[in-house]
């Protein structure tokens, strides 16, 4: 470990001395971006190993490494390089989506459908209600709500609440992969966060359409809302079915070089998603689910390959996510950020416990499921970006607050979930 830290210090020092590496890049990935990307991954892997020694989730180390090297801290990896490496993050998101879908089995859903549905419904309702009430009661302290009339105020607050309702399949899957946790809590939490992705995208699309219409935007009325729903969600499901069919045929007739094929498939799907406007994560999640549950015997090599790729993929995703965290937003609005984050956490606690009791779930699920629903990551950041791009008058201010809340949840959430898994007795012995 000491040797790795010394080598890392030398590399970081060299990068600081090479000032041209800090220049932004455009177009294809430049050599300097690849060098900084490699250094970022080495730093993240080292920080993850250090975090593991202190019984902290590795992904927290990955996030800290990205934050330390990113624009918010030292700036060794500048914002231009992060934009240059966007394709690497899309690759990580796609592979995580495939793995998450393959981990979601019909047998588990059938066995735990009551727990999953009740916990999902009540925690979503509790978070939406709590954050909507907080926004309406504290609107004078929220920058993007001041000066709004009654109808726009209600719809913008609903949009804000819907954006922060999303959970994080990435964090959940990363922790379950790292700890090899197995049991009712692990299976139920994974089911909730994966199904929640579809539900939250539906809620977000509807509330976004209403907010945009009330502010005088392009969207107005039910036909446009329906169009957004169909193109966003149903388009992603249809694309996932097509990708799942391609994967199934490849596994049946070729079954060679699965790593290369998975990477090429993700890049192709990402290009199609950007051109056609469907959601990359949701489409590949559907593809992985269909391959695993329609052809489970032929899917075994793919699932095994994805598990072998999981650790480096998580390093890529969370290192880049950490580098993209904005500390300034948190510093400027930290009282409001903490208030929103704590209200959200309390609503998740109340809603998931009530859902577990109503569903008759196992005691460990009822007590600790809330810990796995606090984290947020890529999907929430993506929704915040949509808000900033499409609502220029107040979207940037809303994005600032949302990103601050996500930064808090992304840092604290993994610690909570690991603690919940430990107390439930589901983490495998070393």
Length of the chain measured in residues: 430
**Listed residue (315, 423, 375, 48) closest to 190, CA to CA:** 375
Structural domains of the chain, ranges and CATH numbers in brackets: 2-16+30-84 (no CATH), 91-423 (1.20.1530.20)
What pLDDT, on the 0 to 100 scale, is given for residue 350? Answer: 96
Portion of the chain with pLDDT greater than 90, in percent: 17
**Listed residue (214, 219, 232, 177) closest to 414, CA to CA:** 177
The Cα–Cα gap between 194 and 103 comes to 10
Averaged pLDDT, groups of 10, the chain, 430 residues long: 58 52 49 79 87 84 87 82 80 84 79 91 94 90 83 88 87 85 89 84 79 66 53 80 88 82 88 82 86 73 82 85 73 84 95 93 92 82 75 78 84 90 77
What pLDDT, on the 0 to 100 scale, is given for residue 129? Answer: 94
> What is the dihedral sign for C-alpha 330, 332, 336, 339?
positive
List phi, psi (to 5°) of 241: -65, -40
**Listed residue (160, 227, 217, 177) closest to 403, CA to CA:** 160
Structure tokens given for 120: 């999902």
Other CB atoms within 10 A of residue 54 CB = 8
Structure confidence by residue, pLDDT tens digits, 145-172: 887 888 888 988 999 999 899 888 888 8
Structure confidence by residue, pLDDT tens digits, 352-388: 999 999 999 899 999 999 999 998 876 777 777 778 7
The Cα–Cα gap between 80 and 33 comes to 9
């Amino acid at each position: 470990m000491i040797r790795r830290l010394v080598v890392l210090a030398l590399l970081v020092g060299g990068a600081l001395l090479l000032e041209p590496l800090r220049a932004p890049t455009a177009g294809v990935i430049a050599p300097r971006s690849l060098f900084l990307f490699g250094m970022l991954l080495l730093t993240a892997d080292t920080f993850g190993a250090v975090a593991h020694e202190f019984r902290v989730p590795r992904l927290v180390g990955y996030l800290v490494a990205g934050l330390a090297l990113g624009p918010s801290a030292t700036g060794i990896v500048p914002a231009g390089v992060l934009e240059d490496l966007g394709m690497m993050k899309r690759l990580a998101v796609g592979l995580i989506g495939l793995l998450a879908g393959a981990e979601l089995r019909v047998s588990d859903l059938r066995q735990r459908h009551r727990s999953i549905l009740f916990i999902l419904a009540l925690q979503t309702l509790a978070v939406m209600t709590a954050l909507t009430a907080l926004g309406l009661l504290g609107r004078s302290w929220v920058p993007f709500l001041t000066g709004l009339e009654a109808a726009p105020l209600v719809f913008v607050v609903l949009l804000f609440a819907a954006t922060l309702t999303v959970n994080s399949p990435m964090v959940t899957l990363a922790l379950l992969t790292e700890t090899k946790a197995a049991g009712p809590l692990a299976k139920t939490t994974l089911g909730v966060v994966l199904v929640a992705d579809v539900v939250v995208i539906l809620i977000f699309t509807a509330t976004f359409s209403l907010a945009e219409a009330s502010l005088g935007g392009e969207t107005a009325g039910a036909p446009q809302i329906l169009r957004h729903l169909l193109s966003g969600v149903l388009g992603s499901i249809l694309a996932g079915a097509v990708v799942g069919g391609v994967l199934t045929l490849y596994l049946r007739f070729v079954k060679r070089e699965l790593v290369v094929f998975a990477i090429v498939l993700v890049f192709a799907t990402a290009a199609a998603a950007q051109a056609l406007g469907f959601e990359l994560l949701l489409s590949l999640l559907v593809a992985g689910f269909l391959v695993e549950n329609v052809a489970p015997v032929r899917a075994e090599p793919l699932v095994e390959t994805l598990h072998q790729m999981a650790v480096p993929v998580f390093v890529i995703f969370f290192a880049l996510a950490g580098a993209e965290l904005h500390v300034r937003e948190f510093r400027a609005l930290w009282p409001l950020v903490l208030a929103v984050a704590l209200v959200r956490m309390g609503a998740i606690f109340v809603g998931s416990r009530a859902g577990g009791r109503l569903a008759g779930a196992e005691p460990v699920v009822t007590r600790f499921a809330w810990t796995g629903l606090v984290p947020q990551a890529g999907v929430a950041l993506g929704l915040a970006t949509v808000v900033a791009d499409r609502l220029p008058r107040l979207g940037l201010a809303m994005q600032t607050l949302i990103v601050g809340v996500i930064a808090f949840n992304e840092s604290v959430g993994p610690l909570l979930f690991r603690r919940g898994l430990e107390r439930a007795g589901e983490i495998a012995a070393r």
